[in-house]
Amino acid sequence: MLKYIKKSKNSVRILNNSYVVVINSHIEMDERIEKLLIKYFSRSASIEELTELTEWLKANTNDFTFNHFVKINYLIDAGMLDFDTENEIDKILKQITVKEKKVRRLKMINLFKYAAILVAALGIGSYLFLKDEFVLNEGIKTVTEVESEVLPGEDKAVLTLGDGTTVMLGRGTTYKTDNVDSNGEEITYKEAKDNEAEGSYNFLTIPRGGQFHVKLSDGTHVWLNSESKLKYPVDFRKGMAREVELVYGEAYFDVSKSKQQGREKFMVRSGSQKIEVLGTEFNIKAYKSESHIVTTLVEGSVKIENNSKSIFLKPSEQSIIDEDGEINVVKVHRVFDEIAWKEGYFSFKQKTIEEIMKTLSRWYDIDYQFKNSHVKGKSFTGVLDREETIDHILTLIQKTNEIQYEIMENTVIIE
């Protein structure tokens, strides 16, 4: 349990019964290198970027900067309390070399399928560490005996056709028509050879405990998170703007520029918000249970409109529309935190336990209860693997927050 927090010009010191943190806040890093490290940790670095990062890591003078960056931005497995920066960098360099050779040999440069080397090399996704600066308390409370194992979500969705027919999609299932093909993990639409499909809409609904990827007929990719619903045309009308609707939930868009045939604009509607793009990547979070619509721009440019005004977003900017329709724009320090779900991670940065449980409930399809309301406001920071069981996730959170929990059937009870 946190007792108090002291802040000073050079450090932030958090004292509690379990650990002590001392972080110097005046270490500066070249912006380019910081971006490379973030892309590396988020599995989106290209071969050229990996090579550049490799050269930077080889310089011994960068050891301290690298170590500092990891300590502040990521959580390390408690089993690595005796952290050896030099050895860990060597591991990363070896991993990068292996990946470079493999990718070149197979000629498959796919940015979003890089292995999460940080998990393998550093044990990222567990609890806090810092050599000589984090002290774990042996007397921390143990987890209550778990009654049942709750597994992570998986690829699954419900496809609703224009005539109201529903098709269940998921691993082990296939669905195929002349213009649509699904292998159970994603669904792909082809451009129609005639005008028969124009004007026809499909809905893709992702239940709690699910996720799915759809490739629209114009080449646009959409990743849908748990508890989301997307409305889109089977084929876009030629000579007209392309328009889809995120009915609710969370989605990541990688919009095809597709300027041919007059289809220059791509529109996304979500509640009172309308987004206009030409070709870009962005994330929209618009859950029914949340009062705000949050749009984060990864790259490119978008125009956001609602009933009151319109604004343009730049990369690493985020618009927040509140329940009164007001639009606020903020700078996002690390975009990865906003899109980590798409890459297979939870990235919680000073999130409260209540906010975290809301996110976990969607992915694991569980309910949750708090026996003590004061626990809701406790905070946690960490990058965690979405493929882990909820018991594993909660155990990691427990290590830095003196809480207890139990799982009864499909409900997590937090004490």
pLDDT over 90 at 250, yes or no: yes
pLDDT level of residue 35 (50, 70, 90 thresholds): confident
pLDDT over 80 at 147, yes or no: no
Give pLDDT, residue 119. Answer: 34
Q: Is residue 197 part of a domain?
A: no
Domain end position, chosen among 80, 106, 122: 122
Domain end position, chosen among 100, 122, 144: 122
Q: How many domains does the chain have?
A: 2
What's the chain look like in SS3?
A: CEEEEEECCCEEEEEECCCEEEEECCCCCCHHHHHHHHHHHCCCCCHHHHHHHHHHHHCHHHHHHHHHHHHHHCCCCHHHCCCCHHHHHHHHHHHHHHHHHHHHHHCCCCHHHCCCHHHHHHCCCCCCCCCCCCCCCCCCCCCCCCCCCCCCCEEEEEEECCCCCEEEEECCCCEECCCEEECCCEEEECCCCCCCCECCEEEEEECCCEEEEEECCCCCEEEECCCEEEEEECECCCCCCEEEEEEEEEEEEECCCCCHHHCCCEEEEECCEEEEECCCEEEEEECCCCCCEEEEEEECCEEEECCCCEEEECCCEEEEECCCCCEEEEECCCCHHHHHHHHCEEEEEEEEHHHHHHHHHHHHCCEEEECCHHHHHCEEEEEEECCCCHHHHHHHHHHHCCCCEEEECCEEEEC
Give pLDDT, residue 353. Answer: 94
Q: Is residue 68 part of a domain?
A: yes
More confident residue, 213 or 149: 213
pLDDT over 90 at 284, yes or no: yes
Q: Is residue 400 part of a domain?
A: yes
pLDDT level of residue 397 (50, 70, 90 thresholds): confident
pLDDT level of residue 383 (50, 70, 90 thresholds): confident
Give pLDDT, residue 273. Answer: 92
More confident residue, 316 or 409: 316
Over residues 169-225, the pLDDT tens digits come to: 998 999 999 899 999 999 999 987 766 556 789 999 999 999 999 999 999 999 999
pLDDT over 50 at 398, yes or no: yes
Q: Is residue 83 part of a domain?
A: yes
Q: Is residue 32 part of a domain?
A: yes
What percentage of the chain has pLDDT greater than the value 70? 68
pLDDT over 70 at 278, yes or no: yes
CATH value at residue 393: 3.55.50.30
More confident residue, 306 or 226: 226
Domain end position, chosen among 80, 95, 122: 122
pLDDT over 50 at 403, yes or no: yes
Domain residue limits at 356: 346-414
pLDDT level of residue 168 (50, 70, 90 thresholds): very high
What percentage of the chain has pLDDT greater than the value 90? 41
Q: Is residue 225 part of a domain?
A: no
Give pLDDT, residue 161. Answer: 95
Give pLDDT, residue 107. Answer: 35
Query: What is the pLDDT averaged over residues 293-301?
Result: 94
Q: Is residue 101 part of a domain?
A: yes
Listed range (70-84, 151-165, 350-364) with the worst mean pLDDT: 70-84
More confident residue, 9 or 168: 168
Q: Is residue 132 part of a domain?
A: no
Listed range (9-23, 47-61, 262-276, 292-306) with the worst mean pLDDT: 9-23
